[in-house]
Amino acid sequence: MQARSVGIITRIDVRDPKGYVPAFVKHLSYKVKLFLDPVTAGLCNSKEATEVDEMYADLILVFGGDGTILRSLQLLPKPTPILGINMGEVGFLTVVDPESALYMIDDIVASFEVTERSRLAVKRNHEDLPCAMNEAVVLTSRPSKISHFRIHVDGKLMEEFRADGVVLATPTGSTAYAMSAGGPIVDPRVDGIIIVPLAPYKLSSRPWVVPGKSIIELELLREDKESMVVVDGQYMVNVGTKDMLTFTRCDTPALFVKFGDKFYDLVREKLT
């Protein structure tokens, strides 16, 4: 693919002492049509800012960490290839440093390949919630309170258990909250959904990996326990015993600029 227009999104508290973001903007301004989010526009002293939900571009550059990409995915008006440039603390989705990206940006804009990452569709009863790039977490509204969950996979009872909550993650999200809760690391190429109980009462309640085409239904069984579902740490909504939460593969995957196969390198780098 070729990019004739590029959107640039920058983490709100980004540290850029070497001025990489303004350098990208200046360099690309002669080559493509640019859309700058308000933070980027402020860094470049530009009066022309575009909100993320109005960025209809061929390519999106995200300066920050994984959290910045997760926020951007919730806001972008259409599926758009993203190149994550690591200027944050965590970088499983931000795969290249700013110096290398600046060196290669002309080649990337001229011709790049796209890789798809599956997302998780989340539904409360008949209401569609935002799709999750990493995970959807169901947990009690009050800290340190245990709840009671029942999970069916494709109509069959998987498990009924008491726990602080449940993480339902994509393979991409397996290195995030799910991993911290004791779930497995799953290669993003695997077509699966990870289910991880949070601090379960019984030691027999273990993480599961189910097929990516599964329909997962989750019910809350304790009427006295208010709970919520949190999508990628960006969106939350209250749920109760009268609600049915359904999780399936999202019809629209996230799109990323293909930048080599660095998953195992990133895992070794970030987790050692």
In the chain, % of residues over pLDDT 70: 99
Beta bridge partners of 86: 64
Give the per-residue pLDDT at 58.
Answer: 98
Tell me what the pLDDT averaged over the chain comes to: 93
Is there a catalytic annotation at residue 154? no
Residue 90 pLDDT > 70? no
More confident residue, 261 or 138: 138
Where in the chain do CATH 3.40.50.10330 domains reside?
Answer: 5-117+253-271
Distance CA 167, CA 149 (A): 12
* Lowest-confidence pick of 39-43, 45-49, 84-88: 84-88
Give the per-residue pLDDT at 141.
Answer: 82
Mean pLDDT of 147-155: 96
User: Tokens standing for 233?
Assistant: 């740490």
Give the per-residue pLDDT at 118.
Answer: 97
Fold of 5-117+253-271: Rossmann fold (3.40.50)
Give the per-residue pLDDT at 219.
Answer: 95
Q: What confidence tens digit (pLDDT) does each residue in 44-58 have?
A: 999 999 999 999 999
More confident residue, 219 or 260: 219
User: Tokens standing for 169?
Assistant: 């993650």
Residue 11 pLDDT > 90? yes
Choose the catalytic residue: 37, 66, 164, 232. 66
| Superfamily name with CATH number, domain 120-249 | Probable inorganic polyphosphate/atp-NAD kinase; domain 2 (2.60.200.30)
In the chain, % of residues over pLDDT 90: 82
Give the per-residue pLDDT at 263.
Answer: 86
Beta bridge partners of 200: none
Give the per-residue pLDDT at 15.
Answer: 86
Which range has the top average pLDDT, 62-66, 143-147, 262-266? 62-66
Where in the chain do CATH 2.60.200.30 domains reside?
Answer: 120-249
Give the per-residue pLDDT at 268.
Answer: 87
